[in-house]
């Protein structure tokens, strides 16, 4: 009984320490996942905790389950609209990019570690993919707001490139275990089975899960559990059939997240907490698994392999993968730098241990060391890199809270709350003057910490909190309406980023030439400013820039796929 209590106590201490660290570390710019990993290492046999944990099978099981949860949650939060600008670049990065990364890193590793080329390629495959948990965490919890194209490419890539790394790892392992009996045809069949079953079961299982959520009459608290265990079931079935459970989990979450689903806001809140718990448990557990003193002998070689991965392999993979898509060089540079490695390489590095391979300890220690370097160097510099490359958009948004609200006989409604900012264009308007659709209804207005009656609403004031009942389809319009509610310092930041003057996207380019004397081709003069911008920058997104001499046109707002607002940034 004492042992049971000690295990529960230890789990409580580790999780509480990790959770409390999330309050302090963001202010220091420290990647949270690095903190979780370090907590586990400090609790391990070489740290103050002196906990000896060497069960690679249990670690692999727990981390794999946690990854399935993180990927399902990532799919829930990925909107199909992001695929408009990010799908094919992300697919290219997830396939060609992983191959290039694994090949270059593997060659360097085989040379530095005095291994055969096949063994080096195994290390390259293990560390070949960016990590979904690391990317989702840094993009969603840091104060960095990137444009839609960069965010969508990084998120989709991290969600779908894990299956490619798993496939490469398994293929190289099978070759090393039986080189005489393994052929290229075996690799092709493995790839088709992994990806084909993963996609088929993921999409089909996601649709079945949506049907169950909308048709079954359950207690409200059971819908999040149904979604959670449905995701695990889809992952497990795919794995049993030798498909890619990682791909299936992500696609199932994607299907559920993009359908009108009962209790969806509650499902999101539940999975947010569960995903955090999974990430903390996964990184702390993997930190416990490593023996830090075993990393010391390979530090020099590990640093060189990590440098080759970060400075050569990842940039080469990004350039070659994105060559057909004409992406701006600063975006390619940022994606080259944010090729974060996290839990997936450590989990994949347990595969050789479980297979009893001769150099399993070398593979594991090198992979773990590369993850540490990646989280420290790349994770710590995410925000500065975005600022230096002028990719960090000014913070926006006044959304405070979302609450799922299923009316009898209907679904897909939410109660959303917004804060009226100091410089909001809505200040001074009465409730009936707000440009709301007929279906939206104001539920209440809170002022100075109190809900006030309808008769006392008067006009909106800075600091007011307004709550509305609205359809999920209307939320983007409401967000757009209230997103101008920003503090004055943020408004100044917007001016520095977007520019000083608003340009009508429907205005003729000739007027721009006449006013500012810029030199443009004759073919451009007959177009509107918006059409000219779209002809030069395919699939434009908010934050895209078009240089005109010493000035720049900057997109501030999009309406679906149409440029809705352009600003002119003068030389500074």
Query: Which of 432, 447, 482 marks a domain boundary?
Result: 482
Query: Which of 455, 482, 509 marks a domain boundary?
Result: 482
Task: Check whether residue 414 and residue 383 sit in a common domain.
Answer: no
Task: Show the tokens assigned to 559.
Answer: 């309406």
pLDDT, tens digit, 9 for 90 and up, residues 45-84: 777 877 777 788 888 888 889 888 988 988 888 888 777 7
**379 contact partners, CB below 8 Å, separation of at least 6:** 31, 33, 34, 134, 138, 340
Task: Check whether residue 465 and residue 517 sit in a common domain.
Answer: no
Average pLDDT over residues 85-103: 90
Q: Which domain holds residue 40?
A: 2-164+279-388
C-alpha separations of 376 from 135, 436, 555 in Å: 14, 46, 33
Cα(69)–Cα(114) distance, integer angstroms: 38
Query: Which of 466, 482, 498 marks a domain boundary?
Result: 482
Q: What is the CATH number of the domain that holds 550?
A: 3.30.465.10
Task: Check whether residue 512 and residue 442 sit in a common domain.
Answer: no
Residue 417 lies in a domain: yes
Whether residue 144 has pLDDT greater than 70: no
Cα(452)–Cα(454) distance, integer angstroms: 7
C-alpha separations of 488 from 144, 507, 572 in Å: 19, 29, 21
Residue 462 lies in a domain: yes
Q: What is the CATH number of the domain that holds 415?
A: 3.30.70.1450
Task: Check whether residue 454 and residue 499 sit in a common domain.
Answer: no
Q: What is the CATH number of the domain that holds 305?
A: 1.20.1530.20
Task: Check whether residue 463 and residue 512 sit in a common domain.
Answer: no
pLDDT, tens digit, 9 for 90 and up, residues 343-391: 788 888 899 988 888 888 899 999 989 988 988 888 788 878 888 888 8
What is the total count of domains within the chain?
3
Q: Which residue has the higher pLDDT, 285 or 1?
A: 285
Partners of 555 in the β-ladder: 566
pLDDT score recorded for residue 401: 65
DSSP assignments along 86-130, one per residue:
HHHHHHHIIIIIHHHHHHHHHHHHHHHTT--HHHHHHHHHHT-S-
**344 contact partners, CB below 8 Å, separation of at least 6:** 67, 129, 131, 132, 133, 162, 165
Whether residue 123 has pLDDT greater than 80: yes
Task: Show the tokens assigned to 515.
Answer: 């006013």
Residue 83 lies in a domain: yes
pLDDT, tens digit, 9 for 90 and up, residues 390-439: 887 766 555 656 666 666 656 667 788 888 877 777 787 887 777 777 67
Residue 190 lies in a domain: no
Task: Check whether residue 136 and residue 91 sit in a common domain.
Answer: yes
């Amino acid at each position: 009984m004492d042992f049971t209590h000690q295990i529960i106590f230890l789990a409580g201490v580790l999780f509480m320490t990790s959770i409390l660290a999330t309050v302090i570390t963001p202010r220091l710019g420290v990647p949270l996942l690095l903190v979780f990993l370090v907590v586990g290492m400090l609790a391990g046999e070489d740290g103050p905790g002196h906990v000896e944990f060497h069960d690679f099978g249990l670690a692999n099981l727990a981390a794999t389950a946690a990854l399935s949860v993180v990927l399902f949650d990532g799919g829930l939060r990925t909107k199909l609209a992001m695929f408009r600008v990010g799908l094919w670049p992300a697919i290219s990065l997830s396939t060609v990019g992983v191959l290039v990364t694994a090949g270059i890193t593997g060659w360097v590793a085989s040379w530095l570690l005095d291994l055969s080329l096949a063994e080096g390629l195994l290390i390259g495959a293990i560390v070949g993919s960016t990590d979904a948990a690391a990317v989702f965490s840094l993009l969603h919890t840091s104060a960095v707001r990137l444009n839609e194209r960069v965010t969508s490419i990084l998120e989709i890539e991290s969600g779908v490139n894990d299956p490619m790394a798993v496939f490469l790892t398994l293929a190289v392992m099978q070759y090393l275990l039986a080189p005489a009996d393994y052929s290229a045809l075996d690799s092709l069949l493995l790839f088709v089975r992994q990806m084909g079953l993963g996609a088929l079961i993921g999409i089909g299982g996601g649709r079945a899960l949506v049907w169950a959520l909308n048709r079954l009459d359950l207690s409200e608290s059971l819908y999040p559990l149904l979604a959670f265990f449905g995701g695990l079931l889809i992952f497990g079935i795919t794995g049993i059939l030798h498909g890619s459970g990682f791909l299936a989990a992500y696609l199932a979450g994607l299907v559920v997240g993009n359908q009108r689903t009962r209790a969806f806001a509650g499902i999101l809140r539940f999975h947010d907490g569960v995903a955090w718990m999974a990430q903390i448990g996964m990184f702390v557990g993997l930190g416990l698994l490593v023996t830090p003193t075993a990393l010391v002998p390979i530090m020099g070689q590990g640093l060189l392999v990590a440098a080759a991965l970060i400075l050569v392999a990842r940039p080469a993979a990004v350039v070659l993968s994105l060559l057909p898509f004409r992406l701006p060089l600063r975006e390619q540079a940022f994606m080259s730098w944010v090729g974060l490695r996290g839990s997936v390489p450590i989990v994949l590095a347990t595969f050789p241990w479980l297979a009893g391979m001769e150099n399993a300890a070398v593979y594991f220690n090198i992979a773990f060391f590369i993850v540490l370097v990646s989280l420290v160097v790349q994770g710590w510099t995410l925000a500065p890199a975005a600022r230096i490359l002028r990719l960090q958009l000014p913070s926006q948004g006044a959304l405070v809270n979302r609450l799922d609200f299923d009316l009898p006989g209907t679904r897909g409604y939410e109660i959303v709350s917004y804060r009226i900012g100091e410089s909001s264009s809505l200040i001074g308007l009465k409730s009936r003057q707000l440009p709301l659709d007929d279906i939206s209804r104001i539920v209440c207005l809170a002022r100075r910490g109190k809900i006030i009656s309808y008769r006392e609403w008067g006009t909106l004031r800075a600091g007011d909190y307004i709550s509305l009942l609205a359809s999920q389809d209307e939320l983007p319009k409401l967000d757009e309406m209230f997103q101008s509610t920003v503090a004055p310092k943020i408004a100044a930041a917007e001016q520095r980023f977007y520019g000083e003057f608003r340009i009508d996207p429907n205005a003729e380019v000739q007027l721009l030439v006449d006013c500012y004397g810029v030199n443009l081709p004759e073919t451009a003069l007959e177009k509107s400013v918006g059409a000219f911008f779209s002809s030069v920058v395919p699939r434009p997104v908010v934050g895209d820039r078009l240089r005109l001499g010493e000035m720049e046109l900057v997109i501030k707002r999009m309406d679906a796929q149409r440029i809705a607002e352009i600003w002119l940034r003068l030389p500074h």
